[in-house]
Amino acid sequence: MSPSMTRLAEIIHRDLKKRLENDNTVSVEPFNHVTILMYYQKSLDEKKNHKRKLLEFHTDNVYSTNGLFVNNKNSQKEKTVTAILTLGNERVLKFQKQLLVDNDETGKQIWEGCGGEDSFCSYFRLSNGSLFVLHPNDEIPKIRKELDSEKMDCTKS
């Protein structure tokens, strides 16, 4: 990280420690990396009448179908937050619920997005200077299963 990015990461870390000091379900640790994503409006494809996605739905943490954190598939530590600092133009962060379903071909259970790739259940508008923090409990399938009805187990953004 550059010196400016390191300083910004330190400021965000200090803020998160203060906000989450009484939450024993999360570990607020210094950031070990920063990802910079550049978003821009792609032109409307008039032939297909839709806008192409820049970033597909995904989860920041990977869990097995039995709800265990998969260490070798995660670069982020377990029980740590995901923080998004928005700079520049407003953007929309969409969330999609996932459902644990049986795979007919393998006989195993897999995660599947509900409603298809264009379906989402919640969104946040992120404006210049806003800091969005995703609590790690929002990605743990065991906890989501207890909180949600309809067998919707976890979310992806």
39 CA to centre of own chain: 16
77 CB contacts (<8 Å, ≥6 apart)? 27, 29
φ, ψ for residue 123, nearest 5 deg: -150, 160
Q: Which is it for strands 152-156 and 122-126: parallel, antiparallel or unpaired?
A: unpaired
Closest among 90, 55, 59, 33 to 153, alpha carbons compared:
59
Q: Residue with structure tokens 């009484």? A: 22
- Encode pLDDT of 47-80 as tens digits: 555 554 456 677 778 888 777 889 898 888 888 8
Q: pTM of this prediction?
A: 0.70
In this prediction, the residues of the chain whose per-residue pLDDT falls under 70 are 39-56, 98-100, 111-120, 141-157
Q: Is 19 helix (H, G, I), strand (E, B) or coil?
A: helix
Is the separation of the CB atoms in 61 and 74 below 8 Å?
A: yes
